[in-house]
Structure 1
């Protein structure tokens, strides 16, 4: 049941009937700014709280995020200063327009508290992703950096420092798997920094300055600069590849460097990039995002490309691609476009090497069979990104929410398997058998599904954006609410028993 949630931090019973306008417990207004009603708390801290809310002035009461900020101000003068600073910083955020940053829809002050109303993004944050699916490997980390750095570059071009980059503030958007940067510390930290200077308070005792372990020294001293975000991004990388908060690692007493390298499978070249991101001395750190992007693009072909499995069960052997096996010459000979990203060039060159049949420099990867795969699944492994699973018989497998990004899955038998909310982004699924499988809300964006068999499959809510469906068989499949266009369906096989995205069976309309 939907409720009205009281946003008064001192309220003892915040849950209210959805029709009430005043809290039954403390009497506070439940309708903010005559427009927004909070319905669920997402989280809270010393400086405020975050809620899911509804906009009552728009038809359908669309969802939004309500961020409540409580300034640390002890008197009227300080409060007026805080209000002025809040409005200035909120206006700055309101000018930001980027598809991977939630839009600021509204802002206002109410009862000595500040509110930001933002677009609600449906997705899981990277902290939860790592906890549920395991730590990142090298290619996954590179994809992360290639997706997040343009967002940060845009933000800095707008003269905004995020101030609170960490895994919990980066979402993987469900609809397209893109990263979204949320929960700016810019407003609260800027307000508190100015208040600290005005009121003479010390930074470490009263004012919020970011998240420990992710905030660099200059930010803790209330002097954040653009490269402070680069430090926080480096600390985020450490979490993604280790599963541990940076504050839980020891510090080298001689150099001050974070000792995070042990038990990771990241190449030396990429490790050096992360170390430079984490430099305490701002003179030794990357000063701009462009410098970081350049460093990442200079060394994509010098890494070892370790293919170790996270949570590898006994009996599965991992093999490595060394720098000698894969050189810059491979990229040159493959005639790759200069406009491709480093990771795309890398992946395409690897694919060409696999196809080349060069016995002297043969590219090897993990050898999977049905038993080792199912053992890994039973041991809790969910992420099979980049793996070669061609030809496996996984009939009837329980594989809900498994991740197969960029995996080789040609000819795999998924008959009657449970694959709801699985992620096949960029995978090769040609000649794969999905007949009678449960594929509700499964993500097939940019996959190759040529000659695949979906007869009788449940594809309700599945996403086929930019997928190749040439000769895919959807006879008897349920595609209700699926994201698939007319042109894709024309290239596939359908019949009178196919349920189309609009719920109809008018198969002849496709042609």
Structure 2
């Protein structure tokens, strides 16, 4: 079928191969610089334009593309509304061209004017929008919502690094590509270059440039968007995925203006805290950057073990030592405070019960006795060469603890906090380190064969010459260069859930 792109045509469908519309007489081929486009279907339309699925007629195979037609409400180049529409079109094309070919952005192929209309040709993405996906399949579970954020936050980070605010993040503008399931951001109609005076501040096109009700935060509705405005919109999109409802359909706290969304979904408290900060009405309380949200999501599975490090075991006041500058400091102030409190334990006495300590140092037998009595906090202690095989140390605080050459074979260290711990040369064969926190830990030369490291936090840990043959790292947070420094084999299960293709240790 050929589709007429004349806005006034009342019967736009035409037989395949037609050159002229049988109803209005308009041409059915849109040409520019030797390229010929034929509209096949109208994908959507609004007050200022329409979007079509089209083919490039003069290319082999007639590849599909998407053509956006901008229709100014007046046909007078001297009219301010026409000029605003032209500026809006040129701005979107310029920004899309500057962003280049990102794998999660629909790329720009061509743009041109054919007065009184303007046209933009983009990559065709075969798939469904997230809006359609939720309508057909129902709301997402927490795990799927987290995966959505992990896929889209780097896209926002990329856009913001190029000095651009999207201003219209919403489920209808994010498509899941059919061929590989990847999420693609498909619409840049409301983009704004940072530092630019908002177009249409007093004209008829203002509504086109603001964004979408429910997803646009207050500062954006006041025509003062910032990078964090996109964070709010992404949080609102996440709420839609979890509830199946637009944020504007949810109850609002009349005193704070915050969305009361928790009653509609069941998610973990830690993930709820992340969403609350993304959706904060106040810019001071909202995450300022996409990177800050990414770091918060990285730390979210470890909030419970991190929080144990700020328990006060004695009523006596203790000095707080400022954290070293190289430690993690992110936009997530709560996680930073927790980490700082844990680091401060190096300056404290352990306050163990009488008879447990000897000048602040625990012997191997006293350590085992303390574990049997339920003690958890052993931060900053020296346990080098200790034989702790098979011990249960679930949730223990071992921050900056020395465990070099210790025997931790089959030891249960699930959700233990081993931040900055020295585990050089330790035997951790078949150890359970599920959800353990190992940031900046020294694991050089450690034996981790067949260890359970699922969902462990290993960012910035030293894995040089660590033996990870047969280890399970599914869901772990660890960089590729860290894994490249360790020994792995065909049985090593990588964070993605796959196994290595080769049989030999690296």
TM-score of Structure 1 vs Structure 2, range by shorter chain: 0.5 to 0.7
Q: Which residue of 2 is the match for residue 185 of structure 1?
A: 189
Structure-2 residue corresponding to 1:328: 415
Question: How far apart, CA to CA, are the structure 2 residues paired with 1:188 and 1:6?
Answer: 31
Instruction: Look up the match of 1:269.
Output: 270
Report the alpha carbon displacement of residue 260 of structure 1 after superposing the two structures with TM.
0.8
Q: For residues 461-485 of structure 1, what are the alpha-carbon distances to aligned partners after superposition, in whole Å with 9 as ceiling and x for unaligned?
A: xxxxx99899xxxxxxxxxxxxxxx
| Distance across 1 between alignment mates of 2:439 and 2:73 | 51
Q: 1:349 aligns with which of 454, 460, 464?
A: 454
Contact 2:6/2:26, CA 8 A, preserved across alignment: yes
**Aligned with 2:24 (options 23, 26, 40):** 26
Q: Secondary structure at the match of 2:40?
A: strand
The question of 1:90 aligning with 2:88 is answered no
Change (3 A) 1:195 1:95: closer
| TM, length-normalised to structure 1 | 0.58
Structure 1 residue 80 displacement after superposition: 3.7
In structure 2, the CA distance between the partners of 1:240 and 1:323, relative to structure 1 (3 Å rule), is farther
The CA distance in 2 between the partners of 1:303 and 1:138, in whole Å, is: 18
Separation (CA, whole Å) in 2 of partners of 1:112 and 1:290: 42
Q: Is the 8 A contact 2:3 2:28 kept in 1?
A: yes
1:142–1:194 Cα change, 3 Å: closer
TM, length-normalised to structure 2: 0.58
Deviation for aligned residue 1:75: 4.3
Q: How far does the alpha carbon of each residue in 1:6-62 deviate from its partner, in whole angstroms, 9 at most, with x for none?
A: 112221001112222222222223212341111011111222211110012311110
Could you say which residue in structure 2 is the equivalent of 1:201? 203
User: Paired residue for 2:219?
Assistant: 218
1:342 corresponding residue in structure 2: none
Report if the CA contact (8 A) 2:190-2:208 is conserved: no
Partner of 1:41: 42
> Where do residues 110-509 of structure 1 align in structure 2 (5 Å cutoff)?
110-186=114-190, 194-197=198-201, 200-201=202-203, 207-302=208-303, 328-329=415-416, 333=433, 349=454
What secondary structure does 2:164 align onto? coil
Deviation of the 1:189 alpha carbon: 11
Kindly state the Cα deviation for residue 223 of structure 1 after the two structures are TM-superposed: 2.2
Distance in 2 of aligned mates of 1:42 and 1:283: 39
Aligned equivalent of 1:102, options 100, 106, 111: 106
Distance apart, 1:252 and its partner CA: 0.5
For residues 267 and 10 of structure 1, do their structure 2 counterparts lie closer, same or farther at Cα, with a shift above 3 Å needed?
same
Task: Compute the displacement of 1:107 (Å).
Answer: 0.7
Q: Residues of 1 paired with 2:105 and 2:37: CA distance? A: 21
Indicate how the Cα distance of structure 1 residues 12 and 218 shifts in structure 2: closer, same or farther if over 3 A, else same: same
SS at match of 1:90: helix
User: Which structure 2 segments of 5+ residues have no match?
Assistant: 306-393, 397-411, 419-431, 441-451, 457-474, 476-495
Report the alpha carbon displacement of residue 207 of structure 1 after superposing the two structures with TM: 4.3
Distance 1:323 1:184, change over 3 A: farther
Equivalent-residue separation in structure 1 for 2:25 and 2:219 (angstroms): 43
| Alignment check: 8 A CA contact 1:273 1:296 kept | yes
* Contact 2:240-2:247 at 8 Å conserved across structures: yes
Deviation of 1:274 after TM superposition, in Å, equals 1.1
Q: SS at the partner of 1:219?
A: helix
- Alpha-carbon shift at residue 174 of structure 1 (Å): 2.0
For residues 125 and 135 of structure 1, the distance between their equivalents in structure 2, rounded to whole angstroms, comes to 14
Alpha carbons 1:189, 1:210 under 8 Å: kept: no
1:212-269: CA deviation from partner (whole Å, max 9, x where unpaired): 1111122222222211111100101111111111110111011111011113111112
Specify the structure having the higher radius of gyration (Cα). Answer: 2
- Number of residue-to-residue matches in the alignment: 333
Matches of residues 62-73 of structure 1 in structure 2 within 5 Å?
Answer: 62-72=63-73
CA contact (8 A) 1:73 1:82 kept: no
> Pairwise CA RMSD of aligned residues?
3.7
Which residue is equivalent to 1:4? Answer: 2
Distance 1:46 1:189 in 2: 23
Distance 1:240 1:303 in 2: 26
Deviation of the 1:208 alpha carbon: 4.5
Q: CA offset at residue 143 of structure 1?
A: 1.1
Whole-Å separation in 1 of the counterparts to 2:276 and 2:15: 52
- Contact preservation (8 Å) 2:165, 2:191: no
Note closer, same or farther for the CA distance 1:468–1:137 as it changes in structure 2 (3 Å cut).
farther
Q: Specify every segment of 5 or more residues in structure 1 that has no aligned partner in the other structure, as ranges.
A: 305-321, 340-346, 352-405, 407-445, 449-465, 471-511
Q: What is the SS of the residue equivalent to 1:297?
A: helix
Q: Secondary structure at the match of 2:273?
A: helix
Question: Aligned pair in 2 of structure 1 residues 147, 59: CA closer, same or farther (>3 Å)?
Answer: same
